[in-house]
Structure 1
Amino acid sequence: MQTELTLPAETDDLRRVYGVFPSGVVSVCALVDGNAVGMAFSSFTSVSLDPPLVSICPAHSSRTWPSLRRAPRLGVSVLGVSQAETARRLSSRNGDRFADLEVASSEDGALFLPDAAAWIDCTVEAELRGGDHDVVLLRVQRMAMASDVDPLVFHASSFHRLDPLAGSGRG
């Protein structure tokens, strides 16, 4: 089946097309000046094995990223399927994102969320301007994973769980 390709007309059109591609969801959190600061990202990806790099893409309009980027270490938690409400809270522009939210802190101030599928302790390696967002390369310093936790998936503007194809195992 062929489809006629069109130029992006509106931001909403782009969001719908980008939303066809499912992604994982991560939190990026740290202590900054003694306060818990964090946000959620669906724009997270692995970049390099040598050196170990991952990336996130904060919007220029973010009020959280300018503060968070000053932290010496950032805690990336790959959110688990049970953490959809946590992702919503960390994406909110209003209220205390960390009210009643359990976190674990490293000695360097990276914050991690329990019940995640994986945890990655990072430092900011580089920031590149990319349209209305920045591409931030993070260097992996330490990591851990929970092999029994399925990741949270973001697709078509909502959260989902992985659903393996029937009869074929995990994929």
Structure 2
Amino acid sequence: MNFLAHLHLAHLAESSLSGNLLADFVRGNPEESFPPDVVAGIHMHRRIDVLTDNLPEVREAREWFRSETRRVAPITLDVMWDHFLSRHWSQLSPDFPLQEFVCYAREQVMTILPDSPPRFYQSEQLLVVRAVAGALSRYGFHPERVKRHGKPPPTSGCPA
């Protein structure tokens, strides 16, 4: 659920932003459903998740949660990582302001939207996608509007 972090790392690695964003919504082998660059992005996202999930600091952070809420710890931590990334964006990426990056990421993601899994963009159907919409809307992207309008309206501050 740390979409901003995955998009940022994908950009730094010159990987598919679309694939890195789609990875949480694609099950199994993506090679039959997506072009090679998107598949590579999906695999990159999965490798990053395995790496970070196994860091001692991340394991320790999960233990901060009570046992009855521990199952949501990974999602909560992901949202927190994105929060801190957005707050300190100008220090981490001084040459690419956050609003410009959001517009760039939106443009990249829009190219794969027609071929993406329905649960990626049909927010009324899944709670997870509502969380995605909420997370991305903080950065100006509103995927929940895709179903109603066929395509999302222009992101605030981005050209149509």
Instruction: Give the TM-score category using the shorter length.
Output: under 0.3
> Which structure has the larger Rg?
1
Task: Please identify which structure carries the higher strand content.
Answer: 1
Task: Please identify which structure carries the higher helix content.
Answer: 2
TM-score with structure 1 setting the length: 0.24
